[in-house]
Amino acid sequence: MDYRSNVTYITFGGHVEVQKYRYLYFVIMFTMYILIISCNVIIVCIIMIHKNLHEPMYIFIAALLINSVLFSTVIYPKLLIDFLSEKQIISYPACLFQWFSYYWLAASDILLLSIMAYDRYVSICNPLKYTTIMQKKTVNIFLISAWVLPVCLLSVGLLLIAKKEICTFNLKGILCNSTVQTLHCVRSRILNIYGLVNLVTVLILPVLFILFTYSRILVVLYRCRGVRRRAAQTCLPHLLVLINFSCLTAYDVLLLRLELNSPKIVRLIMTLQAVIYHPLFNPIIYGLTITRIYDNLKRLFC
């Protein structure tokens, strides 16, 4: 606590020998940050420029990649500053903002993935009704909902956390995520219940919906051999992104337990994987596996 400015500061205790390897950490993470921004922005620009990509599926992909850019911008600049600083600290309000942005974008991602699953379901299972169902107005409603709904849900959690008294000023991590709750003097039962409700609302239910839609798609593919190849080309990237996202989410859900028992180096590696793989995995998968995007990338670089 800084009494002169009346601002509470939190220390990140998850760094491993940062004083010794600060420049190595900085170079690696700065390179990753530039690579993430470049890959995502290039594909988003390709989708925006080429009119043949102005279709719902590609618009949703662009929204997902924009989320990756925002997610990286919330995480990486602070990490880079910490690597070059003598003390790895953050003000408590800034920590709460990072927590809010972290989970807002994560919840938005899973909602976008569920929307993309529905889009593929309509395209493959009801192709004649696709243009009627997936109109521009419907696409806009889906996009706004994917960004606004998580904000509404998390704002309540943010207010509950902000009102809690903190007794610990050291986080056993390198960023503000679910470990923020370990700072509180007393664990809140209401906050735990609210977190469980949010978990069901923005994670479990969308995942169940995605599994349902893809199971229906598999039934159609089994019956109609003619659409198997086209469907596989468009559905496989979404499934790979979903699997990657699910693994990262599982780690975050278990983080509160892992941070009490696992070595610091293990927590650091897993956290770095989470902030590198997720925003970098999406543009690589979509850029290499979606034929129209891949063709435009080849024309751009070749």
Best CA proximity match to 214, nearest among 91, 119, 142, 89: 119
Tokens 């976008």 belong to 112
CB 14 within 8 A of CB 171: yes
Q: In this structure, what DSSP letter does residue 167 have?
A: -
**Distance from C-alpha of 153 to C-alpha of 224, rounded to nearest angstrom:** 41
Domains of the chain, by residue range, sit at 9-301
Q: Which residues of 202-224 are buried (b: 16+ CB within 10 A; e: fewer)?
A: bbeebbebbeebbeebeebbeee
CB 51 within 8 A of CB 250: no
Residue-level pLDDT, tens digit, the chain, 302 residues: 443 445 688 888 888 888 888 899 999 999 999 999 999 999 999 999 988 889 998 999 999 999 999 999 999 999 999 999 888 889 999 999 999 999 999 899 999 999 998 998 898 888 888 889 999 999 999 999 999 999 998 898 888 888 888 888 888 888 888 788 888 887 777 887 887 888 888 888 888 898 888 888 877 777 766 555 666 666 777 777 777 777 777 776 665 555 556 677 877 877 787 788 878 888 888 887 788 888 888 888 87
Which two tokens mark 169? Answer: 């000023």
41 φ/ψ angles, rounded to the nearest 5 degrees: -65, -40
**Coil, strand or helix at 176:** coil
**Coil, strand or helix at 19:** helix
**Top CATH class, 9-301:** mainly alpha
